[in-house]
Structure 1
Amino acid sequence: MPTQLLQQHFGFSEFRPGQQPVVEALLNGNSVAAIFPTGSGKSLCYQLPAIALPNLTLVISPLLALMQDQLAFLKSKGIAAASIDSSQSFEQSQAVMQQVRQGEIKILMISVERLKNERFRRFISQISISLLVVDEAHCISEWGHNFRPDYLKLPHYRRWLKIPQVLLLTATATPQVIDDMAAKFDLQRDKVITTGFYRPNLDLNVVAIDEQQRLTYLSQYLSQYPNQPSIVYVTQQNSADDVAQFLQSQGINASAYHAGMDHDRRQALQTQFMANQVDVMVATIAFGMGVDKANIRHVVHYDLPKSIENYSQEIGRAGRDGEPSNCLLLANTANRSVLENFVYGDTPELGSIRAVLQEIAEAGPEWQLLALPLSNQTNIRPLPLKTLLVYLEMAGILEPSYSFFADVRFKMKGEIEPMLAQFEGERRQFLEAVMQHSPKARTWHQPDFDGLFQAYGAQRSRAMAALEYLEQKQWLELQSKQMTEVYKVRLPLPDLEQLAQQLLEQFQSKEASEVARIDNMLSLLQEPHCLSHALAGYFGDTQVPKRCGHCSACRGQAAALPDTSTASVPDANQLGQWLSPLQEAIEKQYQMPLSETLAARFLIGLPSPWLTKVKARQMAGFGALASVPYGQLIRSLTT
């Protein structure tokens, strides 16, 4: 049956390695994890079973670009698939929901954040779901290279929605991460299917080169291969612009691509690259996750990748058609400090952690959280704030209760009385009560849910369900914003100072593991025997030749990277000139002294809510010491 479905719906005569056992396990009612290299067909592992399974397949995907590419492929095969995402209008998302209710959609793709949405959760809880698919499943593990706190809630959502089966997909999971993923989803270890990480068609070449010589080397290298699709990865946005401009000046058909560009510009560039109108894309890691181009012949790392996992994922975009392809890494340790400094930017200060704990202590048994105001108030960036809340959940201090929109309003599309006339008995009485407790200001009505409960005894959830029903019937337009998350607080709280110290140590431990990733990567790049064998071994794949014969180490050209001398910290006078305007702004805005940590982040160029608020980017010292290691700078500021 699987092979028949494969031929009928996808036009393929046979499965790729690993796909068939995954598909058969799912069709036999089992949960499974598929650990396949980038570009080896992980998506088919859910796309094919979704056709045969009786109910909806719900796919959690981390990137909009990934969703859009996969949807385009499914639609080209005549498979009913859709997404609900931030790029859609209200009417578009409502139309998708209606199709799902009517059973017209087999595959629905969403981000994990969508499950925090009060209205979406009410909708999806009424839908029968056969399979939960977690793409980039390594994000659930703190030991993974792209830990996303919201992924930790997926096992809870699965139980709540009573989804019988789960499929975990990833290309970059070490044995430790695989064990962690399997444990969180109660997955038997024999239901983890790994195909190996060895790509015999990829030539891995690491060249030790001085930072100043990279542009010339890159230009000469790419000039040897005109009109061949290539990606050049850089760390920072301004590097993407500078490198692309230089290559253009050398007659190479190159463009820059990074998150600083607007969405339409990025979309146009991606389309041009896919259509072979741009040969070389010089990009940050914002480019690639949604790119499924089979004939990329060259992936060049102009800067060091963030980790072995990132390196593996990025070179995996080369040669997906199985043809020989080249992966070149221009290696030196000049931007090591930049990579390390990004890591330190995600650790909150002790005072910031204390401020969050104080908020919780003052809330009592129930804490209502608006994430963005709390981020701005405590100077913790949104992602580390999510991580902090997850740590508190794991410690049993907080328990997620529910979430709702703090700001709900509606606008009538007709008169209220004719609408009420459509209902009888208690339903009409209830709707009359909703309208009575929704005062109108010019055009918009603002429901008073507390007043409605006191007067009528109706819960907020019933009122929201009624308003959503009226919107479906085109009686009104409903708007909701300001997501508020409600937590139960376990009382009594432990000693807050001790707890703050423990939480800081958790962040510092994570920080140390991220820095160790950079060390691991530098060791791999200097592998003396075989790069392919060492890379596969990092991911626990032992079924690899000891000598691949197609890497720089096998050719006797193993890279040796001398430690690059780091920039020195200027004298106290220069530091004072840079920091004085910032200190004045922080004291004026927050009535707080400037901490050494915030000063270091300013000088290194790491953004934070407080730095954004005081417009630190416009000050002369912002990012002035980007090449200085964070630890060295902190020591200078504290002595």
Structure 2
Amino acid sequence: MSLVNDPVGLEAALHERFGLQQFRPGQREVIEQVLGGRDVLCVMPTGGGKSLCYQLPAVVSPGVTLVVSPLIALMKDQVDALNQRGIHATLLNSTLDLGEQRQRMAEIEAGIYDLVYVAPERFRSSRFTSMMARLQPALMAIDEAHCISQWGHDFRPDYARLGEARRQLGSPPCIALTATATDNVRRDIAAQLDLRDPGFFITGFDRPNLRYAVAKTARDEAKLEELRRVLERNPGPSVIYASSRARCEMVADYVAKQLRREVVVYHAGLEREARNSSQESFMHGDADVVVATNAFGMGVDKADIRSVVHFNMPGTLEAYYQEAGRAGRDGLPSTCVLLFSAGDRRLQEMFIDNEYPPISAVHQVYEFLRRRDDDPIQMTHAEIREESGVNLNESAVGAILKILDASGAIEKFAPRENMAIVRFNVDSEENLAGLADQLGPQAHVRRAVLAGLEAMSRGRVGEPCYFRPDEIATALGLDRTALNRAIKSLVAELPIDYIPPFRGTAIRVVDRARKARNVEIDFTKLEKRKRHEYDKLDRMTQYALSTICRRSLILSYFGEKASLSERCDGCDNCNADLDGSSSRSSATPIDTQESREVIQKILSGVARAKGRFGKTTVAQMLAGSDSERMTRGGLHQLSTFGILKHSGLTHKEIADVVEALSAVGLIESQAVDRFKPVIALSEAGWEWLRDREAPGLVLGLPAEVAHKLRRRDTSTPSSASETDDLAGDPLWERLKSLRQQWARELKQPAYCIFSNQTMEALVRQRPTSPADLADVKGLGRARIERYGAPLLEAIAGHPVTSPITTNPRSVTVAPRDLEKSEAPPAAATIAPPEPPPRPAPAPTPTPTVAPTQAPASEHVSTEEWTWRLLDRGFNIDEASAIRGLDPAVVIRHLTWMVRRDRRLAVESFLPPETIAAWDAWSTSHPAGEPPAEPAASVSLWPLFRACRTGH
């Protein structure tokens, strides 16, 4: 290669053959190594000019350069561009009919092309591989080489076979190119391709003209609003990536109708002609917005894309950077915005789980397939899912078929659009030619069809051959019906596989006698890959949630030295003007006792809601909303109802905090209906809530919310000195004891029962009735129903013994309240109010004390309060609702009390038939073992035994 040491010659070739004036950074060094015959691995950012690194060597060196490229559209664009420059290039793929393929291969073998573009699947053809081995390519170029590595973000099995294909060609010099590859992936690419002492060229991942931002949003409606803002601020061509076909259609409809922009859609669900039309419209400027899945963009050479918006978060930082990098290839400022919600991560987790299905599901699908009679099996993924009974979605079924195909248990045939597949299962060309001898002399039509199929398959014995039935029918002078009938007869008599065109996957089970347990599948390796995918998802999520420089995060991820503390002024974390959301969020540390308590209260509220409600409803519950939804959902009875009523936060601001907690993974949401997710604590949220020494958080919050959250919580006294005057009051200590006891029962922090300020008001005001309790700040209806009776009994047992100094911050005590509190009835007590569902007469302020009750001034245990409810006629479920306890705790309380000689009628908790059956059982089983039936009531057996025997 004579130009390897000729810089002038390289510059001349660059100008004369490609019309370029100078090399981009890194191109010259790579090209010189390639011309020197060295294997090269080149990592160059999108738009960095990777293609020139093999195209220029191809035109200045003798021999043919074989280029492996993943997409047909990419091949066509590059071949067209090269031909326009007078460079001899061609492609060989399934878009060519049989005659064109033969002609093209003859031209390739004649040596008239400098570059030949093929898809990796082409190496399945022994005829093609044999031809290229004879030609001995001067260079093998593999574009999008990250697809080779199982640790890359777009692993493809056919790419993984390229190492063996290269060896079959005599191991020509090789250049592997990609825009995104970590160090681990780079090493894997080199190993898979068997590169000899390769030159590694990483030309830099930084794209200074790109501006990065993340808008943290909740639902799709909020994302659409942020999308409007981004497109208005960044006029010009834009690519919007969405996670699914349905979302693509939804977003495109919004852009067209609401924003009045010319928009097209691109995804795999469209016919090839529709996809090509969308791409052409966008490339030529007829449409300035394209909404697409990740199927769009690889190799799309549109230099003036001003913004790339990700409506959903991709699963890896490699994928994000590659797709975002399609903006601003002309070097002008361009924007890359990620619209992030917590649901995006769960969606990616679902994708990962689908890609790596459980072992039992793989075996179940395989057993279903091997027991079918049809061969080959022509079924869609949906049909396989339904008929096999596997409890997975269609995507996971497709992953199972890939696993079985890779293990050699099945063969997959994937018909292309309007194309059929034929394969002759014979050992040699001679045996192929002899098939006609097996047909009768009068089988004229079948002989003609067989001859046509043989001619198409010559040189490809044992390989799938794609063709369009209408074309071969026309060539043979037959109608489609006659052709189908002849092929069906040939398949029945001869060793021929035929798959007609259909939208599904045709499958052949290799050995139907082999059972699932005997199929060799390395599930350990698959599990390792699954964990690796989750690790990469973690890094992508960290990027979305990070408060440090996003550019530095990207560069450090790909192995470039970058200071994570420096400011780039090119991302929203370094430059507020580039903020990705309409309401700027600040990084708010949760590092004060007050702010930590607010977070703990919110997490407690989410936990008590038990995953039944959405963010807004939970926020309203925490704020003590009086909306009808609170009563209808029973939220007003939760111990956390109104716990932030006096915090200074509105319910909308509480919802902002909930969203921020979702962003850091403490709260998770699940869509139970479209756009209507419910929230619950994640495992990390439970751990943070339980651990009083949990590390501090940094939440992304609007400035006003951050200000309110970090100032002292108004529901908590600012210092212990403000309650020092109450420390000697026995009631203060009694209330503290009760609060701690109830907190232990509910496994909640004490402040979730009620705050110090509420206790202070109780001591100062000394309420004597439910109506008085309602005047105490911090006691809503739910708390009065649950704790009112024991609170009033405690207050009645601790009359005022000395004047109480009114704290300036405490609730003002009216004279009439002081009068009541100074001389309460000595034996006054209050029965717990009846729950709202149970109609009852108006409560009496001081009902008569039942004879079995202890004097009001004595300590009343939590078990006693539970027992009193049953003694007054409430059932176990009602007592559970009133006290806010699980029924099992209520039963335990009752059993404890009965064993301490507090009488309880079994009729209060068991139906007559069960009582009769258990009495009979007790007579015949004096040892006390529980009966076998009825199972639903067995948990009440200890209580029943206690009532009957006292122990």
Q: What's the TM-score, normalizing by structure 2? A: 0.49
Structure 1 residues 280-300: Cα deviation after superposition (integer angstroms, max 9, x where no partner): 112221221131100111111
Q: Whose radius of gyration is greater, 1 or 2?
A: 2
Match for 2:537 among 518, 523, 529?
518
Separation of aligned partners in 1, 2:435 and 2:672: 52
Match for 1:185 among 170, 181, 193?
193
Separation of aligned partners in 1, 2:39 and 2:204: 20
Match for 1:95 among 92, 103, 113?
103
Separation of aligned partners in 1, 2:129 and 2:497: 15
Separation of aligned partners in 1, 2:190 and 2:461: 40
> Secondary structure of 1:200's match?
coil
Q: Which amino acid aligns with 1:282?
A: V
CA shift for structure 1 position 357:
8.4
> Secondary structure of 1:187's match?
coil
Residue matched to 1:551: 571
CA shift for structure 1 position 223:
2.5
Q: How does 1:186-335 map to 2 (within 5 A)?
A: 186-187=194-195, 191-211=199-219, 212-226=221-235, 228-259=236-267, 260-335=269-344
- Bigger relative contact order (CA 8 A; separation at least 6): 1
Q: Which runs of 5+ in 1 are unaligned?
A: 363-368, 399-404, 410-427, 453-459, 468-474, 571-620, 633-639
The 8 Å contact of residues 129 and 168 in structure 2, kept in 1 or not, is answered as no
Structure 1 residues 246-291: Cα deviation after superposition (integer angstroms, max 9, x where no partner): 2222343232423222222221221121122211112221221131
Structure 1 residues 340-366: Cα deviation after superposition (integer angstroms, max 9, x where no partner): 11111122442454479889999xxxx
Q: How does 1:163-562 map to 2 (within 5 A)?
A: 163-187=171-195, 191-211=199-219, 212-226=221-235, 228-259=236-267, 260-351=269-360, 353-354=362-363, 381-382=397-398, 384-387=400-403, 390=406, 392=407, 407-408=423-424, 435-437=436-438, 441-445=443-447, 497=517, 503-542=522-561, 546-555=566-575
The 8 Å contact of residues 127 and 459 in structure 2, kept in 1 or not, is answered as no
Structure 1 residues 156-195: Cα deviation after superposition (integer angstroms, max 9, x where no partner): 1111111321110111101100111112223356611101
The 8 Å contact of residues 66 and 140 in structure 2, kept in 1 or not, is answered as yes
> Secondary structure of 2:138's match?
strand
Q: Which amino acid aligns with 1:289?
A: M
The alignment yields a C-alpha RMSD, in angstroms, of 4.7
Q: Which amino acid aligns with 1:49?
A: P
Matched, 1:11 2:13: no
Separation of aligned partners in 1, 2:290 and 2:283: 11
Separation of aligned partners in 1, 2:403 and 2:587: 37
> Secondary structure of 2:205's match?
coil
Change over 3 Å in CA distance of 1:430–1:510 after alignment to 2: closer
Residue matched to 1:365: none
> Secondary structure of 1:407's match?
strand
> Secondary structure of 1:129's match?
coil
Residue matched to 2:92: 84
The percentage of aligned residue pairs carrying the same residue is: 32
CA shift for structure 1 position 482:
5.2
Separation of aligned partners in 2, 1:302 and 1:488: 42
Separation of aligned partners in 1, 2:175 and 2:69: 12
Change over 3 Å in CA distance of 1:330–1:19 after alignment to 2: same
The 8 Å contact of residues 257 and 287 in structure 1, kept in 2 or not, is answered as no
Matched residue pairs, number? 533
Change over 3 Å in CA distance of 1:88–1:622 after alignment to 2: farther
CA shift for structure 1 position 628:
9.2
Instruction: Compare the two structures and name the one with the higher strand fraction.
Output: 1
The 8 Å contact of residues 198 and 544 in structure 1, kept in 2 or not, is answered as no
Q: Which amino acid aligns with 1:240?
A: C
Separation of aligned partners in 1, 2:145 and 2:183: 13
Residue matched to 1:132: 140
Separation of aligned partners in 2, 1:183 and 1:95: 36
Change over 3 Å in CA distance of 1:354–1:432 after alignment to 2: closer
Change over 3 Å in CA distance of 1:237–1:353 after alignment to 2: closer
CA shift for structure 1 position 433:
5.2
CA shift for structure 1 position 555:
2.0
CA shift for structure 1 position 108:
1.3
Change over 3 Å in CA distance of 1:252–1:167 after alignment to 2: same
CA shift for structure 1 position 238:
1.5
Q: Which amino acid aligns with 2:229?
A: Q
Structure 1 residues 197-222: Cα deviation after superposition (integer angstroms, max 9, x where no partner): 11110111112223232212221331
Separation of aligned partners in 2, 1:231 and 1:97: 37
Separation of aligned partners in 2, 1:253 and 1:510: 42
Change over 3 Å in CA distance of 1:626–1:8 after alignment to 2: farther
Structure 1 residues 21-65: Cα deviation after superposition (integer angstroms, max 9, x where no partner): 111111111110110011111111111111133222111111112
The 8 Å contact of residues 134 and 168 in structure 1, kept in 2 or not, is answered as yes
Separation of aligned partners in 1, 2:217 and 2:85: 47
Change over 3 Å in CA distance of 1:372–1:535 after alignment to 2: farther
> Secondary structure of 1:328's match?
strand
Separation of aligned partners in 2, 1:98 and 1:311: 41
Change over 3 Å in CA distance of 1:196–1:548 after alignment to 2: same
The 8 Å contact of residues 182 and 189 in structure 1, kept in 2 or not, is answered as no
Separation of aligned partners in 2, 1:191 and 1:28: 11
Separation of aligned partners in 1, 2:79 and 2:306: 25
Separation of aligned partners in 2, 1:532 and 1:178: 21
Change over 3 Å in CA distance of 1:429–1:131 after alignment to 2: closer
The 8 Å contact of residues 438 and 448 in structure 1, kept in 2 or not, is answered as no
Matched, 1:40 2:56: no
> Secondary structure of 1:554's match?
coil
CA shift for structure 1 position 544:
7.4
